[in-house]
Amino acid sequence: MKPVRSTGDMMTWYTGKPCSPVTDHSHINFCVVDSTWEATEAYQIDRHANVAAWAKNDHLGFDVYYVYGGVVLKYRPDFLIKLTNGTTLVLEVKGQDSPQNREKRRALDEWVQAVNQHGGFGQWAWDASYDPADVLDVLAKHAG
């Protein structure tokens, strides 16, 4: 297992899930989508002026571990986005909130703080999109 990986390390794989070919700013040729909402956000991310590169976090191996109900679980955020200002934004698409989702975000916040304190992986940020209409505001917030 490699502790530091790149989207360039992806192996060829096949899926039965719906895929979207909106990848002008991603070197991964298709975006696997779990919902039409994710497809809409992928489209907006790919065309946003402040996005240098992005990838749907599918088969990348980027997981954040968290504890919920006394059990260690894995959380896989939806998108990794490299903004033109150099920040890497971890974006979660979330329609409904719950105590478990709040714990996932707490763990992601802790992970982002740790990687930023380390200093060797650039500047990272995270956010959540709760509506397809808010992704442009989320991107603008972190690109500024």
Q: Report d(CA 16, CA 8) in Å as an integer.
A: 22
* Residues in the chain with pLDDT values less than 70: 1-22, 27-31
pLDDT at position 14 is 59
Is residue 99 classed as helix, strand or coil in its secondary structure?
helix
pLDDT at position 16 is 63
Residue 103, exposed/middle/buried by CB under 10 A (0-12, 13-18, 19+)? middle
H/E element holding 126? strand 124-129
Q: Report d(CA 133, CA 142) in Å as an integer.
A: 16
Angle value at C-alpha 72, between 74 and 97, nearest 5 degrees = 60
pLDDT at position 100 is 95
